[in-house]
Amino acid sequence: MKIISKLWIFISVLIILSPLGLLLPERFKASSAWGEWGADEMRQLVGYIPKGLEKFSRFWSAPIPDYTLKGWEEKPLVSLSLAYIFSAAIGIFICVGVVFILGKFLRKK
C-alpha cells in the first residue's frame, strides 16, 4: 500500500481514538488548560472577571464550541465522545478541503 494511503488510515484511527482526549482528563479530574478558563472558572480563581476579558470573550460564538454540540454540555460521556469524534471528522474534512483549495492556488504551474 502506498504510504499516503497508510497515513490517511492513520488519521482515521486518530479520529476514532480522539475521545481519549476528553475521557482521560475527566478520569484524572484535570480541569481546563492553563489560561483557557471560562468566565466562571476565572471568577473562582482570581475573584473577579477582568473587564476587557469579559468583553472580548464574547467576541465570537463558535458553531461547535469545545468540540461539543451546542446544548450537549450536560449529556453523558458516551454522547460527548461521539460529538468529539464528529467534531474531529468535520474539522479534518474542512482542513483537508481548505488545503486542497490552497493547493490549487499554490502549486507550481
Partner 1 sequence: MHIPDGYLGPGTCGVFYLIMLPIWTIASRIVKRTLNARQVPLLAIGAAFSFVIMMFNIPIPGGTTGHAVGGVLVAILLGPWAACIAITVALVIQALLFGDGGITAIGANCFNLAFVLPFAGYYIYKTISYKTPISSRRRVIAAGIAGYLALNIAAGLTGLMFGIQPLLYKTANGRALYCPYGLNIALPVMLGEHLLVFGWVEAIVTALAIKYLQKHSPELLAEGRRIE
Q: Shortest approach of partner 1 to residue 77 CB, angstroms?
A: 14
Angle, CA of 10, 11 and 12, to the nearest 5°:
90
Residues that bind partner 1 (CB under 8 A): 3-4, 6-8, 11, 14-15, 17-18, 20-22, 24-25, 27-36, 42, 46, 48, 50-57, 59-67, 84, 87-88, 90-92, 94-96, 98-100, 102-103, 105-108
The residues, any chain, with a CB within 8 Å of residue 68's CB and separated by 6 or more, are: 80, 83, 84, 87
Q: What is the rounded CA–CA span in Å between residue 75 and residue 53?
A: 28
Q: Shortest approach of partner 1 to residue 89 CB, angstroms?
A: 9
Q: What is the rounded CA–CA span in Å between residue 69 and residue 51?
A: 28
Amino acid at 1: M
Beta carbon nearer to partner 1, 27 or 79: 27
Beta carbon nearer to partner 1, 31 or 71: 31
